[in-house]
Structure formats: structure tokens, C-alpha cells
């Protein structure tokens, strides 16, 4: 299993996606893929990050890459999230954490002293063969999308 490590292959898992034509992760690999994992739809940090990816989508498309967000939220909530903010890229619903676990993004977190298992904000660039070219862990939203675009230019 890849566990989201650079230079390993991502598993081609079955997915539940807002783009119903896509049923497996590799369905997005007609181009490079920016796959970003985030904790929760409609929360401030996740909304900011998703809006920044959406605002930079034309730059990303020019660099021949797709963008897909992943969280544990249900498809119905993803659809509300997309509708509310006009996202032009799909979101994957991963309530069973299959994709999250295959990229090793489920980590122990703490909120007001309470420990729980949650999604560690992470982003991966995957090439057309499924190889992970770059990984960011424990992402801080500010400036992250620019970093991803710079790295995408580098790996062209």
C-alpha cells in the first residue's frame, strides 16, 4: 500500500464522487491530479482552501492537471458545498475512510482538550500512471494553493 508516500503508486480505489461519471480514483488520471484531503465541508478553513483551488482552476488546467477534494462528508453535503460556492471541480465522499486511510491522512487531533481521529489537511500531486509526485501534510491554508501550483510547474 502506498500510504501517500512520494514515488509510490496510489491505489486505484472505488470512489463515491459528485461527478457520477467517475467511479475509481484513476478515472481522474487523464492528466495529473491534485488530490486534496480536508476535514469538513462548509467550515472556514476548508471553505477558504476550496475557494482558492476553484479561483486558480484555470491556472491548474493550463498546467494539465485536475483538482479533486476529499472529505468524509456525505455526497449530499458535498453537493450543497459545491452549489453554495460554485466550485467547478468534483468532491469525493469517503465516509468509510478507504481513500483517507490509503493516503494515511487520518490522524489523532485535539479540540478543546478532547482527542479524536480526524482528517489531516493534506494534498498530493499524482501523475498519469498513479505515481505520487509530491505530498504536503498538515497543510496551513494560507498560501498553500500557490505552493501547489509552483510545484506543478516544477514537475511538468
What would the grid cell of residue 87 be? 466550485
Question: What is the rounded CA–CA span in Å between residue 117 and residue 110?
Answer: 8
Q: Among the options 15, 46, 82, 132, which is catalytic?
A: 46
46 among known catalytic residues: yes
Say if residues 148 and 61 touch (Cβ distance below 8 Å).
no
Q: Beta-carbon neighbour count of residue 142 at 10 Å?
A: 11
Element (DSSP H or E) covering residue 116: strand 114-119
Residue 117 exposed, middle or buried by CB count within 10 Å (0-12, 13-18, 19+): exposed
Catalytic residues, which ones?
A: 46
Amino acid at each position: 500500500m502506498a500510504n501517500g508516500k512520494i514515488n509510490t503508486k496510489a491505489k486505484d480505489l472505488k470512489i463515491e464522487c459528485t461527478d457520477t461519471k467517475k467511479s475509481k480514483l484513476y478515472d481522474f488520471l487523464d492528466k495529473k491530479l491534485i488530490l486534496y484531503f480536508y476535514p469538513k465541508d462548509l467550515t472556514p478553513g476548508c471553505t477558504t482552501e476550496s475557494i482558492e483551488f476553484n479561483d486558480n482552476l484555470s491556472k491548474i488546467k493550463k498546467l494539465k492537471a485536475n483538482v479533486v477534494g476529499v472529505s468524509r462528508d456525505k455526497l449530499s453535503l458535498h453537493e450543497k458545498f459545491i452549489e453554495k460556492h460554485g466550485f467547478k471541480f468534483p468532491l469525493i465522499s469517503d465516509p468509510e475512510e478507504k481513500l483517507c486511510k490509503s493516503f494515511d491522512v487520518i490522524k489523532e487531533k485535539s479540540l478543546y482538550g478532547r482527542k479524536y481521529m480526524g482528517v489531516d489537511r493534506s494534498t498530493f500531486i499524482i501523475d498519469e500512471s498513479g505515481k505520487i509526485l509530491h505530498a504536503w501534510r498538515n497543510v496551513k491554508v494560507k498560501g498553500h494553493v500557490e505552493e501547489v501550483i509552483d510545484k506543478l510547474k516544477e514537475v511538468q
